[in-house]
Amino acid sequence: MEASIAVIKGDGIGPEIVDEAVKVLKAVEKKYGHEFHFEALLAGGAAIDQVGECLPEVTVEKAKKSDAVLLGAVGGPKWDTLEGSKRPEKALLGLRKSLNLYCNMRPAVIYDALLSASPLKDSITKGGIDVLVIRELTGGIYFGEKKRQGESAYDVMSYSKDEIRRISIKAFEAARKRKKKVTSVDKANVLETSRLWRETVNEVASSYPDVTLNHLYVDNASMQLVINPSQFDVILTENMFGDILSDEASMITGSIGLLPSASLSDGKKGMYEPIHGSAPDIAGMNIANPLATILSAAMMLRYSLNLDKEAEDVDKAVKAVLDKGFRTKDIAKEGESWISTSEMGSLVEGEIL
């Protein structure tokens, strides 16, 4: 098959990790006889430096025309002093909104080979961790009106039933392919948006009698994640709660450098990026872990390009490399030897070819 893939390397370690993911995608292309057309686009700090704005119009236009977007990471201290609307992060928000990527999927799993990497006690992780956080990505407080007035400021959090309904459907559909359990997280004891959220999720649930639904307040959910993570299958939540809980869910696996994400719209179009940030402190050193980006590319094969078998091939290649004991610095134990970003990418490539 033929597919057009927009590639946004971004800032910090972005270029290094994206290069490895592209290497792996090229291996898939070769092995299965596909034709992927990669097009490099600018966004984030790199775009600010080169063209004076974090999200050039041409990037949005071309991203819209492509089948999928692969992104490294954006941001860094260099641009931290810019005002809110000009920061590199704004590029991410702009891409999410203009491509209507309302469904953010962030799987947090512990790999067998890395069981000991979790900061939680064995007695807590023994039930396994395999959580899929489904975060609403284009609404809520992130996109409501914001204003600074003298000594005060506000950010409006609002949701419509339609916005809640469509993300809930995605969560129930995903749960059907997993352990058939949805935990919806809100703050319905305080927030009106959360009461609407809960009501709407309950309505959608009535069409999925085969899926179990429970509701948790966000404060309780954050506790449950560290005391009993194996109770979770799919966590469905709004934008900001999802931002926070997905960081927590990824951290308890102990290997944030391995966790991918997909941001999807109604059709096949999606944007794929690692969960971690641009890690400016280690940029250019060839020591970052490219696996989260490689696994994001696997999600892209699965969700945007309908290439399930190829996606599985990439997932398996990553697992094989880990099982053989290869580690990048971030996941190597004290005293254990580790390999570089590009060596890790080449090993995964080698497993595929």
**Contact footprint for ligand IPM (CB under 6 A):** 89, 92-93, 243
- Residue with Cβ nearer Mg ion (19 or 89): 89
Q: Shortest approach of Mg ion to residue 200 CB, angstroms? A: 24
The nearest distance, CB 88 to ligand IPM, in angstroms, is 8
- The reply to whether 179 belongs to the active site is no
Binding marks (x or -) toward Mg ion, 212..251, rule CB under 5 A? Answer: -------------------------------x--------
CB 295: neighbour CB atoms within 10 A?
26
Measured in degrees and rounded to the nearest 5, phi and psi for residue 142 equal -65, -35
Does the annotation count 159 as an active-site position? no
Residue among 144 and 346 whose Cβ is closer to Mg ion:
144
Is 210 known to be catalytic? no
Q: Which is nearer to ligand IPM, 42 or 322 (CB)?
A: 42
**Over 230-298, what HEC string results?**
HHCCEEEECHHHHHHHHHHHHHHHCCHHHCEEEEECCCCCEEEEECCCCCHHHCCCCCCCCHHHHHHHH
Q: Is 163 in the site for Mg ion (CB under 5 A)?
A: no
Shortest distance (Å) from residue 287 CB to ligand IPM: 22
Q: Which of 112, 155, 162, 219 is catalytic?
A: 219
Active site residue 142: yes
- Check if 219 is active-site: yes
128 is in an annotated binding site: no
- The reply, when asked if residue 280 is annotated as ligand binding, is yes
Q: Which does 89 bind (CB under 5 to 8 A by kind): ligand IPM, Mg ion, none?
A: ligand IPM
- Edge-to-edge strand ranges of the sheet holding 103-109: 35-40, 2-10, 68-73, 270-274, 260-264, 103-109, 130-136, 234-237, 181-186, 212-217
Q: Is 286 annotated as a binding residue?
A: yes
Tell me the residue nearest to ligand IPM as measured from the CB: 89
Joined together, the tokens standing for residue 321 give 């490399």
Give the nearer residue to ligand IPM in terms of CB position, either 18 or 348: 18
138 is an annotated ligand-binding site residue: no
Alpha-carbon torsion 298, 304, 305, 307, what sign?
positive
CA–CA distance from 248 to each of 55, 110, 245 (Å)?
Answer: 29, 13, 5
Q: How far is CA 331 from CA 126, 196, 327, 328, 334, in A?
A: 20, 41, 6, 6, 9
- Which of the residues 142, 159, 208, 272 is marked catalytic? 142
- Alpha carbons 134 and 262: distance in angstroms, whole number: 10
Alpha-carbon span 306 to 83, nearest angstrom: 40
User: Is 284 assigned to a binding site?
Assistant: yes
Residue 310 interacts, among Mg ion, ligand IPM, none and using kind-specific CB cut-offs from 5 to 8 Å, with none
Beta carbon of residue 143, minimum distance to ligand IPM (angstroms, whole number): 11
Residues 6+ apart with CB under 8 A from 140: 157, 158, 159, 193, 238, 239, 240
Say how many residues touch Mg ion, by CB under 5 A. 1
Structure tokens at 48: 């600010």
283 annotated among ligand-binding-site residues: yes
To ligand IPM, the closest distance from the beta carbon of 256 in angstroms equals 11
Which residues of the chain form contacts with Mg ion (CB under 5 A)? 243
| Residues carrying an active site annotation | 142, 187, 219, 243, 247
